[in-house]
Amino acid sequence: MRNQIEYQVSGEYALFTDPLMKLGGEKMTTQIPTYSALKGITESIYWKPSIIWIIDEVRVMNAIRMESKGVRPIEMSGGNTLANYSYLRDVKYQVKAHFIFNENRPDLQDDFNEHKHHNIAKRCVERGGRRDIFLGARECQGYVEPCQYGEGKGFYDKIDEVHFGTMVHGINYPDETGRNMLETRLWQPKMTYGKVHFIHPEACTLVRPLYEMEAKSFQLGQSMQSVDALYAEMEGGE
């Protein structure tokens, strides 16, 4: 597929929080990363407002194991409280993703350079990302490296189907939808022989509005660096 990157992300812990499970200060991870979580990881590798990352598929390499920890999160009113967080333990995923141009941002059309975006993205994968990688939560550090998607042995390679019920797919943001509304998407994923194929965000039928929100504005050369300038910068740094 055009504009595609493949990478492996791993970490000691992960916390892909289901918003419905945040009540009472407790946090419990979902069994697999959400589309939104993987999109956030991919955007930490490389992102600009002129492109939208589409997550195609994730391959679960390690066994799904959970571990609960007693933590002392800081309260908004000050001080600490006690809570139990349930994390995923010893995670490793192979991810396949591609980007498209954000047609809802005609003001950034001068930044629609497919070749340069793709080459920069591949270099960023090789370097472990442009920003710190977090597996759902800041305390869960992740590590990115390039891979050939499908290579190596995965724990679930011989299991035909695993269903996960209804869970969050991701968030619709105004700058990607053209609607001044923040929305959440739900879906019912299944893992087939260790792989979860993600449906496109527009294919999600369970969409719930959250609140009105306007897209953030960007200006090439001022509030954001153009892809041409970034490409030249990376070429000069070789």
Q: pLDDT by residue (tens digit) across 58-95? A: 999 999 999 988 877 777 777 777 778 899 999 999 99
Q: What is the pLDDT of residue 163?
A: 95
5 and 94 in contact (C-beta within 8 Å)?
A: no
Phi and psi at 14, nearest 5°, equal -145, 150
CA distance 228 to 236: 12
Q: What is the pLDDT of residue 56?
A: 97
213 and 182 in contact (C-beta within 8 Å)?
A: yes
Q: What is the pLDDT of residue 28?
A: 85
Bridge-partner residues for 52, per DSSP? 100
Q: What is the pLDDT of residue 215?
A: 77
Q: What is the pLDDT of residue 62?
A: 98
Low-confidence ranges of the chain (pLDDT < 50): none
How far are the Cα atoms of 93, 115, 155, 220 from residue 64, in angstroms, in the given order?
11, 37, 9, 43
E-only strand ranges, the chain: 4-14, 27-28, 51-60, 66-71, 83-101, 143-146, 162-163, 167-172, 181-187, 190-191, 195-197, 206-212
Q: What is the pLDDT of residue 223?
A: 59
Residue 149: name the closest of 203, 85, 196, 87 by CA: 196
Q: What is the pLDDT of residue 24?
A: 57
Domain 4-228 sits in CATH at 3.30.70.2660
Listed by start position, the domains of the chain span 4-228
